[in-house]
Structure 1
């Protein structure tokens, strides 16, 4: 895609990658908490 104003994409890609990583980490932590709850352990 050609444009007169072509901003650098690296900062946007970095922020998106960090956001995805944090969402995956949050999901993993929630999954571990749910497994502990099902196993009868207190959080």
Structure 2
């Protein structure tokens, strides 16, 4: 039972870190041009 007192805050911290990373990527424009990335991957240049 005492292990849960350690594991739960670690899991919540990692989840919060992942959420912050997602929000940072969203605000910095990483998901703005999804269709363009598909076309660039298929081009021969």
> How does the TM-score come out when normalised to structure 2?
0.63
**Unmatched runs of 5 consecutive residues or more in structure 1:** 1-11
More helix by share: 2
> How does the TM-score come out when normalised to structure 1?
0.65
**Unmatched runs of 5 consecutive residues or more in structure 2:** 32-45
Following superposition, which runs of at least 4 residues in structure 1 exceed 3 angstroms of deviation? none
Which structure exhibits the higher relative contact order, with contacts defined as CA atoms closer than 8 Å and separated by 6 or more residues? 1
